[in-house]
Chain A
Amino acid sequence: MVSTETKSDTTRVAGILAEFDTAETLKHAASGLHEAGYARYEAYSPFPVHGLYKAMGRRRTILPVLVLGGGMTGCLVALLLQWWTNAVDYPYIISGKPLFSLPANIPITFEFIILLGALSAFGGVMVLNNLPELFHPLFGCSKFRRSTTDAFFIGVDVDDKNYDETETADLLRGLGATDVQIYHHPQSERRIPGIVTAVASLLVALALLPPLGIALVRFAPKSQPRIHLVTDMDHQPKYLPQQYSPLFEDTRAMRPPLPGTIAADAAIDNTHYQLGQVDGKPANTIPITITAQAMQRGRERYDIFCATCHGLAGDGDGITSQLAFEREEPKWVKPLSFYNKSVVDQPVGQLFQTISDGVRKMPGYKSQIPVEDRWAIVLYVRALQKSRNATIEDVPEELRKHLQTETTKSLN
């Protein structure tokens, strides 16, 4: 940005530089040049001289418009960001408050307006002032260095249509210039050496490789867990099986079971009752005493645990199933109707196993429903299946009359 002053004829003239004593004469001269029809000239002062820019007849800067645009962009970005992230893509439900309401989103919106407004003010003044501009012919003029301390200058560019070395100089002297001189482009343009540019471009190109690699690793399908930088969850202070621990007398981290503990499998002494199996095959008989009470219990448990999916009558049309179809859940499998032949033909032991361990999408219920109740449910399901295709002959003789009168009554 600094070069030695040169008077050599081989250098290109850049313009005329005139010095003035005070801000007042500078303003007068700037206005005089404007009246004389000059356009490509600048007045330089160590502090902003009010009225000078206007005296030069220049148009007001568009910076305020840029800042307004920046602020409005900030407002829009903030509102859209908050609405999309907190109300649509990941709705935050907090104390039943609305997902999007203006008051709760004002602080962020306000800060974004200020931030983008300020960034456009700073960016705008840089771009409009053509900064950074580290090389300029005036920097080669040793006199000009005083312009940032206490001197006032006018520089007329050689490209101005009215420029004439003697005429312009005379005009400037007439306008009160104390000193007029020609300034030149530096003899040798200070350029960045080619090797520096080449190395810098190469480094920039190389710097793109790591992000590319990361993007590749990030988005390519992998069978192994992905590499991650934060390994907080990988290293947890805990004991694994067969490890040493000084905490216990026997130095084993694994604790032996307490005396009298029975393993889960060891307690099975009646496979028919506990697993629904006889000789490794599903049992054909129900091992509990069949009473009206057991039937009633089975119905109650069925309505609590099973009916939400299977429906109160066992057609597979429970409320959960209906909702799943309504929402078009892609992975939902409708429960089989109990009146499907494949279910009707199943031995009771298989029904019991299905309730205990689950089938297809249905989870096992042995942790929630005790064995006795599971058999009661099986009993009730069998009764449901029987009732669907029953005739009056299936009803005990002494109840037939009662049932018939009751049915007639309710139909009427």
Chain B
Amino acid sequence: MTAIVDNDNTTQDPSRRAPLVLGAADCATVTETVSRIVERPQPPLAWYVALVVSAGVSGLLFAAVGYLIVTGIGVLGNNSPVAWGWPIVNFVFWIGIGHAGTLISAILFLFRQRWRTSINRFAEAMTVFAVACAGIFPAVHVGRIWLVYWLAPYPNQMSMWPNFRSPLLWDVVAISTYGTVSVLFWYLGMIPDLATLRDRAQSQWRRLFYGLLSLGWRGSASQWHRFEWAYLLLAALATPLVLSVHSVVSFDFAVSQLPGWHTTVLPPYFVAGAIFSGCAMVITLAVPARAFFGLKDLITMRHLENMNKLILGTSLLVGYSYGIELFMAWYGGNPYEFFAFANRAMGPYAWAYWLMVICNVLVPQLFWFKSIRTSPWIMWIIAAAVNVGMWMERFVIVVASLARDFLPSSWGMFRPSVVDVMMLVGSFGLFCTLFLLFCRFLPMVAMAEVKGVLPHGDVPEVDSTIGGNDS
């Protein structure tokens, strides 16, 4: 391949393959670009400011959770009839965010979408942190968190076992499996890059830190062979997993009898929404990060454009789900079902419903235009709107359905408490804190993988044992 010194790799000209990495990139410059972010002795002042702010905000979360545990569940806005309030909304929201990471790292890996290499580490980290944020909400919202071990099947003096046919227990198992597999996938992929940092380390402490984390990786052909197999197998396991996790989360709703929840469209609808919101979060984080850390040659406009196409595609799926939900409510002929959806669109929570429709269905349509797909700040604003819209979607599903069910005498409105607001805002703080620490101490881009897709790094012959197709 000829060296293309051209900073536009978003072309669709089929006669030449667009480079996945820009600039005069070779193995040394890739290592240098990524490692120097971690290695500079002093991060810029802005990093400190951002860390202090987000750590402070995450303090709100911990203060709220501490207050909740000491005082009791009454400090939340949850009450009859809306017994599942913001904690469940936030939980579903954060779990959804986590889905893009596994999509990019596992599904795109299986489809041999090699452009994923620059952003997969980033997205996987996002997954792990989002799952960490998500896990807090259902855990504290059970009330007596110190009895949470009752969820585990262990022989006890009550001679009781958990009910394995309850969707709530499926949820616990699915989320913990997802968290575990995401961490394993993230860490396994990072080991060769941690070894790079170990070998470049100048101080004894850094060498010890990255030496322990990289477990003595040497990059021998045998190690790479098994590593690639393990990575492929983990990707193959994570792909059905990512589709199952949000399906299981949707069972919490779909398996119940409540109008507005009891629908079979919920699992695919939730999965599409999760990937949609996750891709939007990748854009929200990647646009500032690539500008801030000088990664524009690695996380190129082509990556962002591809993410925007994914957002557009999943937005259409989500919009279709909204439509089919309304259609089925009418076509099904169940008056309660129809009321639930009419109430969403025209009841007291109509503002949330229409905000959701605007943010999730209408705004992403702007991505039909290439000029918008390739301008960083406009796409950032659209992605932020999608984040808002997806939170609203979960709010509409959880709160609007519970607030008005079968019996008009037991209708009621939901009012979030201060603790609710602190927990939501604080969870963003925790997410940002973890992300900032990740940017500072761990390799943000999968260096070894990027080296594999460099034009000169391409070895034409394909390892038939992996059964790959390097097109």
Chain A bound to chain B: yes
| A149 proximal to B (CB < 8 A) | yes
Which of these binds chain B: A140-148, A270-278, A392-400? A140-148
- Is the Cβ of B199 less than 8 Å from the Cβ of A43? no
* Residues of A with C-beta under 8 A to B15: none
Q: Type the 1/0 row for B138-166, where 1 means its CB is closer than 8 Å to any CB of A.
A: 00000010110000010000011111110
Within 8 A of A (CB), among B200-251: 200, 207, 211-212, 215-230, 233-234, 237-238, 240-241, 244, 248, 251
Contact B177 A111 (CB under 8 A): yes
Residue B228 contacts which of A48, A132, A149 (CB distance < 8 angstroms)? A48
* A2 part of interface (Cβ distance < 8 Å): yes
Give Cα A315 to B453, complex, Å: 92
In the complex, are the beta carbons of A149 and B28 less than 8 A apart? yes
* A125-B199 contact in complex given A115-B177, A230-B146, C-beta closer than 8 Å: no
Contact assessment for A121 and B221 in the assembled complex, using a CB-CB cutoff below 8 Å: no
B154 to chain A, nearest CB (A): 10
Which of A4-12, A85-93, A192-200, A203-211 forms part of the interface with chain B? A85-93
Is residue A281 contacting chain B, with contact meaning CB distance below 8 A?
Answer: no
Q: Is the CB of A232 within 8 A of B144?
A: yes
List residues of chain B with CB within 8 A of the CB of A133: 215-216
Q: Are B218 and A53 in contact (CB under 8 A)?
A: no
Distance A179 CA – B352 CA, assembled complex (angstroms): 68
On whether the beta carbons of B162 and A30 are closer than 8 Å, the reply is no
The interface residues of chain B lying within 8 Å CB-to-CB of A247 are none
CA distance A82 to B165 in the complex (A): 9
* A64 to B248 alpha-carbon distance, docked (Å): 27
- Chain B residues whose C-beta falls within 8 Å of the C-beta of A1 in the assembled complex: 207, 211, 216
Determine whether A63 belongs to the interface, using a CB cutoff of 8 Å to chain B: yes
C-alpha spacing A349/B451, complex, angstroms: 101
B contact face: mostly helix, strand, loop, or mixed? helix
Q: Any chain A CB within 8 A of the CB of B289?
A: no
- The reply to whether A129 and B222 form a contact with Cβ atoms under 8 Å apart is yes
Chain A 102-140 interface residues, beta-carbon cutoff 8 Å to B: 104-105, 107-108, 110-112, 114-115, 117-119, 121-122, 124-126, 128-129, 131-136, 138-139
Docked complex Cα distance between A278 and B437 (Å): 89
Please give, as numbers and ranges, the residues of chain A lying within 8 Å of B24 by CB-CB distance. Answer: none
Chain B residues positioned under 8 Å from A89 (CB to CB): 159, 161
Q: Is the CB of B181 within 8 A of A115?
A: yes
**Residue A46 CB within 8 A of the other chain:** yes
Chain A residue numbers with a CB within 8 Å of B167 are 107
A361 at the interface (CB under 8 A from B): no
Q: Does A310 contact B (CB under 8 A)?
A: no
Give CA–CA (A149, B192) in the complex, Å.
10
| Complex Cα spacing A48 to B448, Å | 8
Q: With contacts A54-B463, A145-B200, A148-B196 known, is A81 near B237, CB below 8 A? A: no
CB-based contact A108/B169 at 8 Å: yes
Which of B31, B161, B457, B466 touches A90 (beta carbons < 8 Å)? B161
- Given known A-B contacts A2-B207, A86-B164, A111-B173, A48 and B27 have beta carbons under 8 A apart: no
A71–B233 Cα distance when bound, in Å, is 11
B195 at interface by CB-CB < 8 Å: yes
Please measure, in the bound complex, the distance between the C-alpha atom of A84 and the C-alpha atom of B465, giving whole angstroms: 41
Q: How many angstroms from the CA of A48 to the CA of B198 in the assembled complex?
A: 19
Q: Is the CB of B177 within 8 A of A114?
A: yes
- Which of A23, A53, A104, A139 meets B165, CB within 8 Å? A104
B226 near A23: Cβ-Cβ < 8 Å: no
B414 CB to closest chain A CB (Å) equals 28
| Interface hub of B215, B238, B251 (most chain A Cβ within 10 A) | B215
Q: CB of A330 within 8 A of chain B?
A: no
Contact A50 B199 (CB under 8 A): no
With an 8 A cutoff between CB atoms, is A61 at the interface?
A: yes
Tell me, yes or no, whether A160 is within 8 Å of chain B by CB: no
CB neighbours of B200 from chain A (8 A): 145, 149
Name which residue of chain A comes closest to B167, CB basis. A107
Instruction: Say yes or no: A117 contacts B233, CB within 8 Å.
Output: yes
A residues less than 8 Å from B451 (CB atoms) = 46-47, 150
Tell me the complex Cα distance, A52–B220, Å: 10
Partner of B224, one of A49, A104, A118: A49
Number of interface residues of B (CB under 8 A): 75
Q: Are B234 and A150 in contact (CB under 8 A)?
A: no
Partner of B222, one of A47, A58, A67, A71: A58
- Per a CB cutoff under 8 Å, which of A2, A45, A63 touches B211? A2
The answer to the question of B464 belonging to the interface, with a C-beta cut-off of 8 Å to chain A, is yes
Q: Would you call B224 and A63 a contact (CB within 8 A)?
A: no
Nearest chain B CB to A139 CB, angstrom units: 8
Docked-complex contact B225 and A58, CB < 8 angstroms: yes
Q: Is A331 part of the binding interface, using a Cβ–Cβ cutoff of 8 Å?
A: no
Whether B164 and A147, one on each chain, are in contact in the complex, defined by CB atoms closer than 8 angstroms, is: no
| B27, B223, B230: the one within 8 Å of A63 (CB) | B230
**A11 to B469 alpha-carbon distance, docked (Å):** 47
| Residue B56 CB within 8 A of the other chain | no
In the complex the two chains form, is B184's CB within 8 Å of A122's CB?
yes
**In this complex, which of A50, A63, A107, A135 has the most chain B Cβ atoms within 10 angstroms of its Cβ?**
A50
Q: How far is the CA of A111 from the CA of B165 in the complex (A)?
A: 14
Q: Which of A51, A104, A111, A229 has the most B CB atoms < 10 Å from its CB?
A: A111
Q: How far is the CA of A71 from the CA of B220 in the complex (A)?
A: 28
Shortest distance in angstroms between B412's beta carbon and chain A's nearest beta carbon?
Answer: 27
Beta-carbon contacts under 8 Å, B313-336 to A: none
A54 touches B465 (CB 8 A): yes
Interface check A27, CB cutoff 8 A: yes
A115 to chain B, nearest CB (A): 4
Contact mask for chain A residues 223-242; partner B; CB cutoff 8 A; 1 contact, 0 none: 00000011010000000000
Determine whether the beta carbon of A121 is less than 8 Å from that of B234: yes
Could you tell me if A53 and B465 are in contact, using CB atoms closer than 8 angstroms? yes
User: Can you list, as one digit per residue, whether each of B162-182 has a CB less than 8 Å from chain A (1) or not (0)?
Assistant: 111101011001100100110
Q: Of A24, A53, A61, A110, which is within 8 A of B244 by CB? A: A110
- Determine whether the beta carbon of A131 is less than 8 Å from that of B216: yes
The smallest beta-carbon distance between B11 and chain A, in angstroms, is 26
**B160/A90 in contact, CB under 8 A:** yes
The contact string, 1 if C-beta is below 8 Å from chain B, for chain A 70-105, is 010000000001100110011010100100000011
Which residues in A have their C-beta under 8 angstroms from that of B457? 23, 47
Of B163, B191, B233, B238, the most chain A CB neighbours within 10 A belong to: B233
Q: A60-B465, A108-B164 are in contact. Are A148 and B192 (CB under 8 A)?
A: yes
Q: Does B449 contact A (CB under 8 A)?
A: yes
Say whether, besides A2-B207, A46-B219, A124-B230, A150 and B165 are in contact (CB < 8 Å): no
Give 6 closest A-B pairs by Cβ, nearest first.
A150-B27, A85-B161, A125-B230, A132-B215, A50-B463, A145-B199
Known: A86-B165, A149-B196. 7 other contacts (CB 8 A): A47-B27, A48-B228, A58-B222, A71-B237, A85-B162, A114-B177, A131-B216
User: Which residues of B are at the interface with A, using a C-beta cutoff of 8 A?
Assistant: 26-28, 31, 144, 146-147, 153, 159-165, 167, 169-170, 173-174, 177, 180-181, 184-185, 188, 191-192, 195-196, 198-200, 207, 211-212, 215-230, 233-234, 237-238, 240-241, 244, 248, 251, 448-449, 451-452, 457, 459, 461-466, 468, 470
Q: List 19 A-B contacts (CB under 8 A).
A: A1-B207, A45-B221, A46-B31, A49-B221, A50-B466, A52-B463, A71-B237, A86-B163, A107-B170, A108-B164, A108-B169, A111-B248, A112-B177, A119-B180, A121-B233, A121-B234, A134-B215, A148-B219, A150-B26
